[in-house]
Structure 1
Amino acid sequence: MEIELNGYYTMILATLVLLLGRFLVVKVRFLSDFNIPEPVAGGLVAGVIVFLLNVFFGLTFKFQTQLQTAFMLMFFSSIGLSADFTRLRAGGKPLAVFLMVVAVFIVVQNTVGVGLAAALGLDPLIGLVTGSITLTGGHGTAGAWGPVLESKYGITGATTLGIATATFGLVAGGLIGGPVAKHLIKRIGHSKLAPPTRQTEVEAVAAAQSLYSTRHTEAGDEPDAAMFDKPDEIRLITASSTIETLALFAACMAFAGVMTTVAKGTVFELPTFVWALGGGVVIRNVLTHFFNFDMFDRAIDVFGNASLSLFLAMALLSLRLWELTDLALPVMVILFAQVGVMMLYAAFVTFKVMGSDYDSAVLAAGHCGFGMGATPTAIANMQAITDRYGASYKAFLIVPMVGAFFVDLVNAAVLQFFTQLPFLQ
């Protein structure tokens, strides 16, 4: 028997899932230690309940998706609206080099996923789900690509698989970053480490806070207001600023809708959420650099974070765990292989290309964090290392900028390239 719930009741259940997730993250230390997002914590419990109702009573649920789609587009719009390319210049050459290292790894990650999926007799597109869609992209990208793969490419259970894989990646990224960095630090020897000063530590933390976006924590953190605005220029989120920010989101979503229709059937055909992200990038940089518009980053982040939480909660309510039974073993083989590839790449590519010094070791730990999980996992990895061995201003400057602003843009481009390959059609 199928029970259909309209958008009103879907919204109510989504908020209850978020409240449950917040309770679980506070009460269960494992969830907080590994930065498991509140929507994921609550949503997985809800998914298990739906699974049990299906097994024992034959019940299935159908949720209205209009609001879920709208929140998804708002989230990706917020990514684009936050991508100010002057930050690339501010980060200098090391940031550009690190971004290239990350871009190459995304290609490697997808190549490994697709290759192993084909070797194990799975649809090669499942390799993208167990590649950068979920591991580099996280839960937001997994939830967005899932319906596309299901409807356009016929991959049954892509959304459910994506959410499960992204959760695995968060835990794995938090587990491997520390050991990789410690091994590298031992390799270069303690004599090469300059003793940090208290001022350096303060600067490193300040740099991370000023560049780090709550939207990419995917965990509903509540940072200080000064994290987004200059301390002497804090702006309140008022009714006027809310309308202004919503107008920016509306422009991105309208652009996405128009371009999806115009590009349909052409070589420029892209998922709607990619157009929303691209529209945000264009609007952000045109308004900022040509019209000197004072973009309210804090409001964008708040709306983006709330949209992501509601989108994930609704997506997780729709999980159909019974569709993954036959995929469990081969998918775990691919995921453990991805863990090994991430560790090797961080140790032999990220570390060496970035200079083979202490900062590079901390960067390698950060890369393990968002290469398998998300930016907060990267920050947690680096904090664990710097608490023991000393501050790394360079790592805390570069990783939040790449993880929070630019990796999603690169990932979207790489995924679009892979989905256009003839053997994946």
Structure 2
Amino acid sequence: MIISFNVYATLLSMIFVLLLGRFIIGKVKVLRDFNIPEPVVGGIIAAIVIFLLYQYGKVELKFDGSLKDPLMLAFFTSIGLSADFASLKKGGKLLIIFLFIVTGLLFLQNIIGMSVATLLGVNPVIGLLGGSITMSGGHGTGAAWADLFKNAPYHFGASMEVAMASATFGLVMGGIVGGPVARFLVRKYKLEPDKRIQNDSPVGFEKPEKERLITSGSFVESLALITIALFGGTEIAKLFQGGGFTLPTFVWCLFIGVLLRNILQATKIHQVFDREVSVIGNVSLSLFLAFALMSINLWQLVALALPMVVILVCQVAIMVTYAVFVTFRFCGRDYDAAVLAAGHCGFGLGATPTAMVNMQTVTQHYGPSHAAFIVVPLVGAFFIDIINALVISGALKLPFF
């Protein structure tokens, strides 16, 4: 028996998944400790229930997918609208160095993922999905690229399942390894925070700033910017469709968002309301992930379990090694560099919130690091997504495919 959900029933199901995830996270401490997102928890439970209904009740649920693409594109547009290039000045030289270090890891993650997949004799798409797409990109980037890999010329039907499993594994491991890496570096090199800032007031993400009030007028303005970027990005994607130079539609939307933000800021025509854009983006991402997870086919993961585990374990080992021997060394081999290494483990395997929690845990124990709390959010919040999109597109040109 097939039960079809129209767009309203599908939206209601997505919201229910988010509320279920929030309820469970509120009851289970370990999920809060590792910052597992609400749509991931609720979506996985929904996917299991749907699988059991299909397997044992012979009931198949079909959801309306008309909201999926607009929600995904709105999320990436919000990232572009948050990309303030003037913020580069805040991080100074250390921000530029860290940006290059992070970019190097993106290339390495994809090479490792695709190489291990090839050695194991499985589709290299699995290696790419277990590479920078989900390790440094997280659930949102993973779901977006998974949609692409389902279609020609890749035709990889289990792409969404692999992406969601990889992103969840990375998120958990990013929270586990970051603290121990910083602890090892601090003890090995007997590092201490700069005594000149011991009594300073917290800066940046160490302390929330005064917030503007979201109003109906400002919301419409932010929604207009996102809509302009959505329209422009989708139209540009159509122009390049079938040509020699192709990028996924969400990358174009992201780029249009970047251009809009920085042109408006440079000309002082309009000040983008970051918190409001972030709210719209986060709501879009949560609903999109809820749909992506509740509609995955869990049985397709069984045959791919072993190669996925091997690829992901390799990625964790590479991340820890890279943080110790590259991130720490090139960022100055001091206390700030150790905190940056912990943060890099957070969003190099999971997401920026994981990086922030890692750094907060380290600084609460050993002392403050103003530099780390300026650099990591700037890189992890938006620059990483822009660069990652280009790196992934380049990886698809390699002879693995």
TM range (shorter): over 0.9
| In the alignment, structure 1 residue 391 sits paired with structure 2 residue 368 | yes
1:115 maps to 115
Aligned partners of 1:177 and 1:66: how far apart in 2?
39
The answer to whether the Cα contact below 8 Å between 2:229 and 2:254 also exists between their aligned partners in 1 is yes
| In the alignment, structure 1 residue 83 sits paired with structure 2 residue 83 | yes
Aligned partners of 2:278 and 2:171: how far apart in 1?
21
Indicate which of 316, 319, 332 corresponds to 2:309.
Answer: 332
The residue correspondences of 1:150-165 to structure 2 (distance < 5 A) are: 150-152=150-152, 153-165=154-166
Aligned partners of 1:50 and 1:264: how far apart in 2?
35
The residue correspondences of 1:11-410 to structure 2 (distance < 5 A) are: 11-152=11-152, 153-190=154-191, 193-195=193-195, 198-200=198-200, 202-203=201-202, 206-209=203-206, 227=209, 231=210, 234-410=211-387
Amino acid at match of 1:405: F
The answer to whether the Cα contact below 8 Å between 2:90 and 2:374 also exists between their aligned partners in 1 is no
Q: Percent identity?
A: 48
Gapped regions of structure 1 (runs ≥ 5): 211-225
The answer to whether the Cα contact below 8 Å between 1:196 and 1:391 also exists between their aligned partners in 2 is no
Aligned partners of 1:11 and 1:194: how far apart in 2?
50
Aligned partners of 2:81 and 2:395: how far apart in 1?
25
What SS is found at the alignment partner of 1:122? Answer: coil
Amino acid at match of 1:180: V
Q: Once structures 1 and 2 are overlaid, which stretch shifts more, 285-294 or 39-48?
A: 285-294
Residue 168 (structure 1) shift = 0.6
What SS is found at the alignment partner of 1:133? Answer: helix
Residue 421 (structure 1) shift = 2.3
The answer to whether the Cα contact below 8 Å between 2:21 and 2:38 also exists between their aligned partners in 1 is yes
Residue 194 (structure 1) shift = 4.1
Deviation per CA, 1:119-146: give whole Å up to 9, x if none: 0111111111001111110011111111
Aligned partners of 2:197 and 2:243: how far apart in 1?
57
What SS is found at the alignment partner of 2:133? Answer: coil
Aligned partners of 1:388 and 1:195: how far apart in 2?
15
The answer to whether the Cα contact below 8 Å between 2:233 and 2:256 also exists between their aligned partners in 1 is yes
Residue 248 (structure 1) shift = 0.5
Residue 117 (structure 1) shift = 0.5
Residue 195 (structure 1) shift = 4.2
Amino acid at match of 1:31: L
The answer to whether the Cα contact below 8 Å between 1:195 and 1:390 also exists between their aligned partners in 2 is no
Residue 198 (structure 1) shift = 4.9
Deviation per CA, 1:319-342: give whole Å up to 9, x if none: 110111100011001111111000
| In the alignment, structure 1 residue 416 sits paired with structure 2 residue 393 | yes
Amino acid at match of 1:298: R
What SS is found at the alignment partner of 1:15? Answer: helix
1:2 maps to 2
The answer to whether the Cα contact below 8 Å between 1:196 and 1:390 also exists between their aligned partners in 2 is no
Residue 199 (structure 1) shift = 3.0
What SS is found at the alignment partner of 1:151? Answer: coil
Aligned partners of 2:397 and 2:64: how far apart in 1?
30
Residue 154 (structure 1) shift = 0.7
Residue 8 (structure 1) shift = 1.0
What SS is found at the alignment partner of 1:295? Answer: coil
Aligned partners of 1:289 and 1:237: how far apart in 2?
23
Residue 161 (structure 1) shift = 1.2
Q: Once structures 1 and 2 are overlaid, which stretch shifts more, 1-10 or 271-280?
A: 1-10
Aligned partners of 2:339 and 2:244: how far apart in 1?
40
Q: Once structures 1 and 2 are overlaid, which stretch shifts more, 384-393 or 51-60?
A: 51-60
Aligned partners of 2:40 and 2:311: how far apart in 1?
22
Residue 407 (structure 1) shift = 0.6
Residue 349 (structure 1) shift = 0.4
The answer to whether the Cα contact below 8 Å between 1:363 and 1:399 also exists between their aligned partners in 2 is yes
1:213 maps to none
Report the TM-score, using the length of structure 2 for normalisation. Answer: 0.97
The answer to whether the Cα contact below 8 Å between 2:91 and 2:371 also exists between their aligned partners in 1 is no
Amino acid at match of 2:87: R
What SS is found at the alignment partner of 2:62? Answer: strand
Report the TM-score, using the length of structure 1 for normalisation. Answer: 0.91
Residue 267 (structure 1) shift = 2.7
What SS is found at the alignment partner of 1:423? Answer: coil
Aligned partners of 1:68 and 1:283: how far apart in 2?
24
Aligned partners of 1:303 and 1:408: how far apart in 2?
17
How many aligned residue pairs are there?
400
Residue 57 (structure 1) shift = 2.0
What SS is found at the alignment partner of 2:4? Answer: strand
